[in-house]
Chain A
Amino acid sequence: MKFKSVFDIIGPVMIGPSSSHTAGAARIGRVARDLFGRQPDWAKVHLYGSFAETYKGHSTDVAIIGGLLDYDTFDERIKTSFEEAEKVGMSFEFIPEIGHVDHPNTARIVIGDKDSEMSMMGISIGGGKIEITELNGFPLRLSGNHPAILVVHEDRSGCIANVANCLYKYDINIGHMEVSRKEKGHMALMVIEVDQNVDREVMDELRKLPNITQVTRIAD
């Protein structure tokens, strides 16, 4: 079931005008910011389907920038996010695409700063609910509703067991887990949805495990 809570239906409380194109868009932006772990210096946002056709009217662009500034769906500052972005020195660009995508409300957000960049694909599935479908070329399925840990690692035996053992040590329960790789023996990605927020201590320990390249988390 995609919708698990009554508050997916009666909610969210949000700035108008569209739950999918405004609130959902803000949430996609905010998850991207969360995954990047800090305020990006620049953002390139590719919009597909209905997002590409109607983003101006729905303030989808304003909402995504609001999300990238870490605003929640009901944050009044969403309305002036373009000005706020300028204040913090984040440049941005919106690119409506004509290519076909599986879901009509799709955005690809590419963000970065002088140190690194990140690409993420998100879809807005209705009523403000979203899913993250791709991260740096890895297909995945992440609701953004639960705290999650994303681990980029070498595709070697033992990696998954080590990570699971570490979480077990801190009594962190795994609610959902997915592993994907681009090519056998190369880079792989673990997406782990957990029941509680993960402390810095756990994150640091995960980073020290063999063959682990990068660890990021999404807070609740």
Chain B
Amino acid sequence: MEALFRNVRELVERAEKEQKLISEIMIEQEMLMTDRSREDIMTQMDRNLTVMEEAVEKGLKGVHSVSGLTGGDAVLLQAYRAKGNTLSGDLLLDAVSKAVATNEVNAAMGTICATPTAGSAGVVPGTLFAVQNKLNPTREQMIRYLFTAGAFGFVVANNASISGAAGGCQAEVGSAAGMASAAIIEMAGGTPQQSSEAFAITMKNMLGLVCDPVAGLVEVPCVKRNAMGAANAVVAADMALAGVTSRIPCDEVIGAMFEIGQSMPSALRETAKGGLAATPTGKWLESKIFGGAVVGSGQ
């Protein structure tokens, strides 16, 4: 089965030519590729959206991981935001806190929806539920947000990578942030081309980001990288809506991300051997959490 688009250029061209939203192209492609009805596909995405809502809700009440490395920051951020005196702005901090909330739930082995991965699951819902308060979308528009994000993620997954072990954090949180940025544009009434610019601007600022989880846990620095991924996405969306464009086309930025991932040493690709994982404190935390205890053999 031939896909309706293989890269961002084809995606944008098709959307412009047929005068459709990017989310619509993604829905049509899903119907074509998986031979399922529109209703079926929309219902499944609606369920995923519900999982995201529940995860944020749970995280904002406060959760803590088994290791004790993460948890509770979403609560701090919301309390700070409620005072109404934030420096970076209400919407931005709302997105950040909700991204953090999702990833804190993930770290605590709660139920989340991977977007595109679990380690980067905070960015897309975090931005969505913050922008929601500003743009007042319908439920369908919120579901469409996920399809637009999915369309860009689909291109990255097939042409580069969404795996931290293969391409570093740029492939996970970098992709998630780009996806979120492109989706914000559609919800805010921007053009498909502006979605492409927003993705490119976001991804350019995530290039080179390594995957160096302390003790191999999806916690430090993953939770805070989701926070910054969300912030990056919102700011880049504003830049694109203002008319700023990327000098390097979106697909070439994705290509660069792939190349950078390929040349990244293994120590910086989810092996917990380099970067922050290899700092004295990172090492100390690892030994404190796992000690000499044997894990993994039953009976």
Contact of A20 (CB < 8 Å), options: B150, B154, B163: B163
Q: Is A57 an interface residue (CB 8 A)?
A: yes
Please, what's the 1-or-0 string for B286-299, where 1 marks a CB less than 8 Å from any CB in chain A?
A: 00001000011111
Binds A, one of B11-19, B80-88, B104-112, B243-251: B104-112
Contact of B295 (CB < 8 Å), options: A17, A50, A54, A61: A61
- Cβ contact within 8 Å between B48 and A10: yes
- Cβ contact within 8 Å between A126 and B117: yes
Q: Which residue of A lies closest to B6 (CB)?
A: A1
- Cβ contact within 8 Å between A10 and B296: no
**Chain A residues with CB under 8 A of B208:** none
- Cβ contact within 8 Å between B108 and A53: no
Q: Is A119 an interface residue (CB 8 A)?
A: no
**Chain B residues with CB under 8 A of A2:** 157-158
- Cβ contact within 8 Å between B26 and A105: no
B10-46 with Cβ < 8 A to chain A: 26, 29-30, 33-34, 41, 44-45
- Cβ contact within 8 Å between A127 and B297: no
Measured CA separation A125–B171 after assembly (Å): 12
**Chain A residues with CB under 8 A of B151:** 6
Interface size of A as a range: 35 or more
Measured CA separation A5–B41 after assembly (Å): 10
- Cβ contact within 8 Å between A16 and B118: yes
Q: Is B164 an interface residue (CB 8 A)?
A: yes
Q: Is B271 an interface residue (CB 8 A)?
A: yes
Contact of A57 (CB < 8 Å), options: B41, B106, B272, B297: B272
- Cβ contact within 8 Å between B270 and A19: no
Tell me the dominant secondary structure on chain A's binding face: mixed
**Chain B residues with CB under 8 A of A104:** 165-166, 266, 269-271
Binds B, one of A90-98, A152-160, A162-170, A178-186: A90-98
- Cβ contact within 8 Å between A6 and B157: no
Give the Cβ gap from B110 to chain A, nearest Cβ, in Å: 6
Q: Is B235 an interface residue (CB 8 A)?
A: no
- Cβ contact within 8 Å between B298 and A86: yes
- Cβ contact within 8 Å between B107 and A12: no
Known: A2-B158, A12-B114, A127-B162. A56 touches B109 (CB 8 A): no
Contact of B147 (CB < 8 Å), options: A6, A19, A125: A6
- Cβ contact within 8 Å between B44 and A7: yes
- Cβ contact within 8 Å between B157 and A11: no
Q: Is A13 an interface residue (CB 8 A)?
A: yes
Q: Is B113 an interface residue (CB 8 A)?
A: yes
Q: Is A18 an interface residue (CB 8 A)?
A: yes
- Cβ contact within 8 Å between B299 and A10: no
Known: A1-B3, A16-B108, A55-B296. A9 touches B118 (CB 8 A): no
Known: A7-B44, A16-B218, A56-B290. A23 touches B114 (CB 8 A): yes
- Cβ contact within 8 Å between A10 and B45: yes
- Cβ contact within 8 Å between B114 and A128: yes
Measured CA separation A16–B200 after assembly (Å): 29
- Cβ contact within 8 Å between A14 and B296: no
- Cβ contact within 8 Å between B150 and A9: yes
- Cβ contact within 8 Å between B157 and A8: yes
Q: Is B188 an interface residue (CB 8 A)?
A: no
**Chain B residues with CB under 8 A of A19:** 114, 116-119, 121
Q: Is B161 an interface residue (CB 8 A)?
A: yes
Q: Which residue of A lies closest to B67 (CB)?
A: A57
**Chain A residues with CB under 8 A of B119:** 17-19
Q: Is B224 an interface residue (CB 8 A)?
A: no
Give the Cβ gap from B265 to chain A, nearest Cβ, in Å: 12
**Chain B residues with CB under 8 A of A91:** 298-299
- Cβ contact within 8 Å between A127 and B114: yes
Measured CA separation A13–B44 after assembly (Å): 11
Measured CA separation A4–B153 after assembly (Å): 11
Measured CA separation A105–B165 after assembly (Å): 7
Known: A13-B112, A17-B119, A22-B118. A56 touches B48 (CB 8 A): no
Q: List 18 other contacts, CB 8 Å, given A14-B118, A104-B166, A126-B165.
A: A2-B157, A9-B115, A10-B45, A10-B114, A10-B149, A15-B111, A16-B106, A16-B110, A16-B112, A19-B121, A20-B165, A53-B272, A56-B295, A56-B296, A58-B217, A104-B165, A105-B163, A128-B118
A residues neighboring B (CB under 8 Å): 1-23, 49-50, 53-59, 61, 65, 74, 76, 79, 82, 85-86, 90-94, 104-105, 125-128
23 A-B pairs with C-beta separation under 8 A? A5-B33, A6-B45, A9-B162, A10-B116, A10-B147, A11-B115, A12-B113, A13-B113, A14-B114, A16-B106, A16-B118, A17-B65, A18-B119, A20-B164, A23-B114, A50-B270, A53-B216, A53-B271, A57-B213, A57-B272, A104-B166, A125-B163, A126-B157
List 3 tightest A-B contacts by C-beta distance, closest first.
Answer: A54-B216, A126-B163, A57-B216
